[in-house]
Amino acid sequence: MIQFQCDYLEGCHPRVLQALVESNADQAAGYGEDPICEEARDIIRRLCHAPEAAVHFFVGGTQVNRTLIAATLRPHQGAVSCDTGHIAVHESGAIESSGHKVLTTPNDNGKLTAAAVDALCTAHWSEAAPDHMVQPGMVYISNPTENGTVYTREELLSLRAVCDKWKLPLYLDGARLASAMECPLCDYDYAFLAEVCDAFTFGGTKLGALFGEALVITNREMNRDFRYILKQNGGLLAKGRLLGLQFRELLKDGLYNEIGRRENEMALYIRRSLEEKGYAFLIDSPTNQQFPIFPDDLLETLKEKYSFGFWEKTDARHSCVRICTSWATRQEDVDALLADIPAAK
Amino acid sequence: MIQFQCDYLEGCHPRVLQALVESNADQAAGYGEDPICEEARDIIRRLCHAPEAAVHFFVGGTQVNRTLIAATLRPHQGAVSCDTGHIAVHESGAIESSGHKVLTTPNDNGKLTAAAVDALCTAHWSEAAPDHMVQPGMVYISNPTENGTVYTREELLSLRAVCDKWKLPLYLDGARLASAMECPLCDYDYAFLAEVCDAFTFGGTKLGALFGEALVITNREMNRDFRYILKQNGGLLAKGRLLGLQFRELLKDGLYNEIGRRENEMALYIRRSLEEKGYAFLIDSPTNQQFPIFPDDLLETLKEKYSFGFWEKTDARHSCVRICTSWATRQEDVDALLADIPAAK
Amino acid sequence: MIQFQCDYLEGCHPRVLQALVESNADQAAGYGEDPICEEARDIIRRLCHAPEAAVHFFVGGTQVNRTLIAATLRPHQGAVSCDTGHIAVHESGAIESSGHKVLTTPNDNGKLTAAAVDALCTAHWSEAAPDHMVQPGMVYISNPTENGTVYTREELLSLRAVCDKWKLPLYLDGARLASAMECPLCDYDYAFLAEVCDAFTFGGTKLGALFGEALVITNREMNRDFRYILKQNGGLLAKGRLLGLQFRELLKDGLYNEIGRRENEMALYIRRSLEEKGYAFLIDSPTNQQFPIFPDDLLETLKEKYSFGFWEKTDARHSCVRICTSWATRQEDVDALLADIPAAK
Amino acid sequence: MIQFQCDYLEGCHPRVLQALVESNADQAAGYGEDPICEEARDIIRRLCHAPEAAVHFFVGGTQVNRTLIAATLRPHQGAVSCDTGHIAVHESGAIESSGHKVLTTPNDNGKLTAAAVDALCTAHWSEAAPDHMVQPGMVYISNPTENGTVYTREELLSLRAVCDKWKLPLYLDGARLASAMECPLCDYDYAFLAEVCDAFTFGGTKLGALFGEALVITNREMNRDFRYILKQNGGLLAKGRLLGLQFRELLKDGLYNEIGRRENEMALYIRRSLEEKGYAFLIDSPTNQQFPIFPDDLLETLKEKYSFGFWEKTDARHSCVRICTSWATRQEDVDALLADIPAAK
């Protein structure tokens, strides 16, 4: 079985593995207070041109989201997200479980628009009794989005402007960040993200690490006493150096972006090939998630050798599936897949 | 610097590392639904003579405790713990943050006694208005305790009896479980724990794993919809097979207990040696945490080469420190330490 | 100023006031454990033909909703509501603050349909990984709805059937219950509600009481340890007999329904009169809330003497307002209002 | 049966009742935004010499405590209270249910001492890893305490100083405030409380109101967006004017203090009389709660005609009971009680 359903099916990039092996016997202080974590933090601060930024490491994405949101909001506030946002849909109510509503607006191709945030805030503050409703308290976006789409510089600046207007922190969930940064549309760098966002993550799990998300916080207020809340949410890893080590390896000389680039290349190769065979795509994604539409009987045949993520039925006899590439996706597996897919009728 | 302050300073046991390296390139389904996790679960069920038990893997201990307690209690219930219990002291309010009070009783050498639980429950239920107070809803113990002490079979049976009397589930936090199981006092096996507890953990982080706790739930009701709550608390690791793999390696042929035994041997060797030199111990611990009392000026000298965990001042010129041994503690480091400690005056 | 914006602007019905005055000096046990509360509970059980039902008194509606939902759901579950439901919109995140998502579906004229609940549950349970999403755990409806509309017997039976199918408790928020029961469309009685719902409320605040909601719970499991959770949510009134007294007075001989009937009569009189003058209504409500559409310049004139609730702009020059009648609405005030409204152009 | 077990057994003071009756038919805006509430707020601000203070009205004390604490603390913070504090014992975990630990210290005759707060904070901040523990975030006291004891000016100033030292807001729960203010020991006025505390309450329920607590907040930061959190916690009363009306009546010309004075007089009369008969008291209380120790066989006889609150067994044959006086306690009932109690043997 060759699996394409997601991008966390294999272990970590060989260079990351090598670093883990080499440092295994060393002693290092616990809970992220070791020199390796500090080194990784410095690398991240330099990449972001943000010498004052705080950097915290987490094992997983749901942990980051619930911890940062819990640390940022007061009890009556909610996090604004588009309706396809990960926190709105796929975290089993982690945000609500820490007391906060996710305030959703319709998505635009997987993205939250500045106009939607503005409309939601305008509506809230023009209520006769806004204090009977949840107050917008921060803005959540993911980049790439859950649909594989990527924000432009322009769009991020507009979101920043609307956040400034309503005094809302802007948080960007970068679970697949390198894939966004390396896609052709991307017209900004990490320093821009550090400037435009109050906080954002470098996702590791889907980009060459065994696990891990690095959270960068440039808004000093959001970072106040952050480690208490990290611990409270079960996010402080005892052997924290495992996180520092992986991010140091991924970010010290560009491996992270290289992995993103390679994921995109494989994904776009699949896309072009399928388009040439006459298949349509539900979503126009420039990153490592692709959403082709296949006849159901073809999917039935393919599932003996390949696995995909089911996305949705598009009509009575067709379905959209998600194909993900990862750091480990092999050309030969992709070619085998493409060979097994005939031209569309 | 040779560090003894805790037992999570090094990476993982070489055999665990080897298993991680060998399986690194394999594809496996995410979130613990892969065959390796299933294999590890089967090994655990066999060890426990509990073919029906549920087994869930977590990255860390605070996560397990907050998730299991959240899954078990209703909103008005609290978890009974002695006042030195990890959940009562060292989890930054993780339990309260999920809505529950930790109901504490005085500890007996780090242990919760059946008599204390019975007294607390009797007091609650004999209140004129018990519904104005938090209802005891489950019992939490750790074994070994935070003081390194270990429950006897007799003590566990008494706790079980009092739990049955008051209809409370009993949960045992085994962050250092193998160290308890391998200490001379221990007169029971895993099957006994599975029978006497409603849930308990095999701690991996402090016993040879990079990270990880395996939670065994034998009480079917506590396991209902458990994975939702695991996800909600940020505890579902994307590459869950990393957890299954480590526990499979540790438990398939006794490595886990061997590590516990070795930790204990080194700890007791340190103890005997220091006792021979005339040092007293604050706590009589049979496991891998030892609590010698040293003159402060000796500690001042030692800290140039060695690190310990500060425990408490015992008088104006002496302090108790915690010395931990781990799977990686080297005889030569221990001997160097002992050589640098003169006989007590 | 004559105020029509809501139905809680005046004190209580004279008979309720009289009862409060007469019993003022009596001593009665606190927290709802007095004989008057017990008498009121018995009256309610008889009205509902539900001798086994539990009855709890609350001061306000948000308190009831958050307490009952907190008592019913486990952490990973949400309450299903249509998007106009009070818990979804107007309780400042009270439900989320107790840890639960409100799972919304589009409303049908203010109502939640059985089809919408079924679709939502079907979607949840057919997910590949339902445990990554909030699980539907109960169903919330209000009757009359926030739009003044009323469920039919048929609709309630359909909701019951879909709740049975998915094993969900059904809770009906009756903040204005008598207004629903006394509207011409209503083809059921309290006993029917007690049978079809797991829990429902008799709202007092908007129907002749100073304050108060009586919660009837027929599902024994939902009532387990309920008073603890009531206390925890700040809902146990010290002088609880004030609640029992009001409900006893309202329900012992039909005053409650009489007030609902009178509210409806006044509301429908306003409606007929305005329709005769040529005004349209945004919502077809048979109860004490009416939603006429007026020209904005007329509203500008009227606001010197009358107040309404602003509902929404219907076009550039017209707005819908909410007019509420209460137990205290006077014929002369209504007639004054109608006299000041000219025929529509 | 003549009842002395608590001070919320009767309705309200006749003058309060009269005010409720007279205003019953008036229309007033909902949710505390009416002119009567505003008038009551002004009276309170004047009494406190605090023209900038915010004043919010609540129905009950648990509501105030959980709302204010939720509004004040961040997720990782706890409220410091002595172990007999109401929030620590008698609110069914309301504070924990909103996510916060109650950090307790041993009480000194029902009081929290500045020294205890200082010790607790010193211990926290001198931990090696304070971020693994709950951070002290505010200080809670009640005055009079749950034991009837009263803080002196000196003690309150010491608490203020220690709060300033550790940057903690100080909150005083005045459920029985007038009884404290009118006791002989009290050497301060409301203006002093407004200055020394960041927030405090005037309790109404136990001092002549049907129900109600008025919360005064002088710390601007604690008041930010307070009404949202009030609504979220189910604390916004629809007919809010009922609260304003009662406090206006109680506070406009000293009735509140007069009631406190009268409660104290009756309580101290009972005390002196019982002391003369030779009975001892468990607690030396100068306020409306008294704690005599009686032989159990005497209590057995008395319970046919009188009810008290059981406090605790003091030895095998004696018990301490709580006797409370209220605004409505009648001289004749007290005299009947005293006549039925023989001189102690």
Predicted confidence at residue A241, as pLDDT, reads 97
Which chain D positions have a beta carbon within 8 Å of B133's beta carbon?
A: 89-90, 92
**Higher model confidence: residue D164 or residue D1?**
D164
Is-contact C275 C292, C-beta < 8 A? no
Q: ∠ CA(D7), CA(D8), CA(D11), 5° rounding?
A: 125
Tell whether A78 is within 8 A of chain C (Cβ). Answer: yes
- For chain C (length 345 residues), average pLDDT per consecutive 10? 95 98 96 97 98 98 97 98 96 96 97 98 94 98 98 98 98 98 96 98 98 98 98 96 98 98 98 98 97 97 96 96 97 97 93
Torsion of CA D270, D271, D273, D277, to 10 degrees: 130
Overall average pLDDT of the D87-102 stretch: 96
| Rounded distance between C-alpha atoms, residue D30 and residue D12, angstroms | 22
Which chain A positions have a beta carbon within 8 Å of B35's beta carbon?
A: none
Give the pLDDT confidence of D31-47 residue by residue, as tens digits.
999 999 999 999 999 99
Q: How far is B202 from chain C (nearest CA, A)?
A: 24
Predicted confidence at residue D15, as pLDDT, reads 98
Give the pLDDT confidence of D49-59 residue by residue, as tens digits.
999 999 999 99
| Rounded distance between C-alpha atoms, residue B205 and residue B209, angstroms | 5
Predicted confidence at residue D345, as pLDDT, reads 83
Chain C residue with the nearest C-alpha to that of D226:
C92
Tell whether D93 is within 8 A of chain C (Cβ). Answer: yes
Which chain D positions have a beta carbon within 8 Å of A74's beta carbon?
A: 71, 224-225, 229
Q: Is the pLDDT of residue B81 over 90?
A: yes
Q: Is the pLDDT of residue D109 over 90?
A: yes
Count Cα atoms within 13 angstroms, Cβ side, for B307.
Answer: 12
Query: In this complex, do B132 and D92 lie within 8 Å of one another by their Cβ atoms?
Result: yes
SS percent in chain B: helix, strand, coil, step 5: 40, 20, 40
Chain D residue with the nearest C-alpha to that of C17:
D21
Which chain A positions have a beta carbon within 8 Å of D71's beta carbon?
A: 74-75
Pairing of strands A309-315, B170-173: unpaired
Q: What length is written for chain C?
A: 345
Tell whether C125 is within 8 A of chain B (Cβ). Answer: no
Q: Which amino acid is at A331?
A: Q
Overall average pLDDT of the A142-148 stretch: 97
**Lookup: tokens for B181:** 């199981």
Tell whether C52 is within 8 A of chain B (Cβ). Answer: no
Which residue has 């010498």 as its token pair? A51
CB within 8 A of D154, min separation 6: which ones?
none
Q: Which chains touch B (3 or more CB pairs under 8 A)?
A: A, C, D
Tell whether D128 is within 8 A of chain B (Cβ). Answer: yes
| Rounded distance between C-alpha atoms, residue B334 and residue B312, angstroms | 23
Q: Is the pLDDT of residue B345 over 90?
A: no
- Find, among A95, A81, A37, the residue nearest to A212 by Cα: A37
Query: In this complex, do A10 and B24 lie within 8 Å of one another by their Cβ atoms?
Result: yes
Overall average pLDDT of the A265-292 stretch: 98
Query: In this complex, do C96 and A91 lie within 8 Å of one another by their Cβ atoms?
Result: no
Chain B residue with the nearest C-alpha to that of C137:
B225
Nearest to C211 among D63, D228, D238 (CB): D238
Predicted confidence at residue B148, as pLDDT, reads 97
Rounded to the nearest angstrom, the gap between the alpha carbon of residue C48 and the centroid of all alpha carbons in its chain is 17
Q: How far is D47 from chain C (nearest CA, A)?
A: 27
How much is the mean pLDDT over chain B? 97
Tell whether A128 is within 8 A of chain D (Cβ). Answer: no
Q: How far is C76 from chain A (nearest CA, A)?
A: 6
Q: Percent of chain D beyond pLDDT 70?
A: 100
Would you give the end-to-end CA distance of chain D in angstroms? Answer: 26
Q: Which chains touch A (3 or more CB pairs under 8 A)?
A: B, C, D
What 3-state class would DSSP assign to D267? helix
Nearest to D135 among A70, A99, A225 (CB): A225
Say if residue A233 is exposed, middle or buried (CB neighbours under 10 Å; 0-12, 13-18, 19+): buried
Predicted confidence at residue A269, as pLDDT, reads 98
Q: Percent of chain B beyond pLDDT 70?
A: 100
Query: In this complex, do B76 and C129 lie within 8 Å of one another by their Cβ atoms?
Result: no
Which residue has 């008698």 as its token pair? D90
How much is the mean pLDDT over chain C? 97
| Rounded distance between C-alpha atoms, residue B268 and residue B276, angstroms | 12
Q: How far is C133 from chain B (nearest CA, A)?
A: 7
ipTM of the complex: 0.96
Query: In this complex, do C93 and D25 lie within 8 Å of one another by their Cβ atoms?
Result: no
State the pLDDT confidence band at A89, using cuts at 50, 70 and 90. Answer: very high
Which chain B positions have a beta carbon within 8 Å of D89's beta carbon?
A: 133
Q: Is the pLDDT of residue D306 over 90?
A: yes
Predicted confidence at residue C345, as pLDDT, reads 83
Give the pLDDT confidence of D209-229 residue by residue, as tens digits.
999 999 999 999 999 999 999
| Rounded distance between C-alpha atoms, residue B208 and residue B296, angstroms | 32
Give the pLDDT confidence of C283-317 residue by residue, as tens digits.
999 999 999 999 999 999 999 999 999 999 999 99
Residue D82 backbone phi and psi in degrees, to 5:
-75, 165
Overall average pLDDT of the D127-135 stretch: 95
Predicted confidence at residue B183, as pLDDT, reads 95
| Rounded distance between C-alpha atoms, residue C133 and residue D149, angstroms | 51
- Find, among B310, B306, B308, the residue nearest to B2 by Cα: B306
CB within 8 A of B63, min separation 6: which ones?
A234, B213, B233, B234, B235
Tell whether D228 is within 8 A of chain A (Cβ). Answer: yes
Predicted confidence at residue D78, as pLDDT, reads 98
| Rounded distance between C-alpha atoms, residue D99 and residue D75, angstroms | 7
Question: Can you list the alpha helix ranges (DSSP code H) found in chain D?
Answer: 14-23, 35-47, 61-72, 86-89, 94-97, 114-125, 153-166, 177-181, 190-196, 226-232, 241-251, 255-276, 296-302, 331-340
Q: How far is D172 from chain A (nearest CA, A)?
A: 22
Chains A, C: CB contacts within 8 A come to: 59
Predicted confidence at residue A345, as pLDDT, reads 83
Q: Which chains touch C (3 or more CB pairs under 8 A)?
A: A, B, D
CB within 8 A of B277, min separation 6: which ones?
B341, B342, B343, B344
Predicted confidence at residue B306, as pLDDT, reads 97
Residue B39 backbone phi and psi in degrees, to 5:
-65, -45
Q: Cis link prior to A286 (omega < 30° from 0)?
A: no
CB within 8 A of B77, min separation 6: which ones?
B100, B134, B135, B136, B137, B138
Which chain C positions have a beta carbon within 8 Å of D25's beta carbon?
A: 10-11, 328
Is-contact A309 A5, C-beta < 8 A? yes
Rounded to the nearest angstrom, the gap between the alpha carbon of residue B91 and the centroid of all alpha carbons in its chain is 13
Give the pLDDT confidence of B148-192 residue by residue, as tens digits.
999 999 999 999 999 999 999 999 999 999 999 999 999 999 999
Tell whether A35 is within 8 A of chain B (Cβ). Answer: no
| Rounded distance between C-alpha atoms, residue A96 and residue C93, angstroms | 9
Tell whether D211 is within 8 A of chain C (Cβ). Answer: yes
How many C-beta atoms lie closer than 10 Å to residue B337's C-beta?
A: 19
CB within 8 A of A203, min separation 6: which ones?
A61, A173, A174, A175, A176, A177, A213
Which chain A positions have a beta carbon within 8 Å of B30's beta carbon?
A: 6, 8-9
**Lookup: tokens for D78:** 């706890």
Q: How far is D131 from chain B (nearest CA, A)?
A: 7
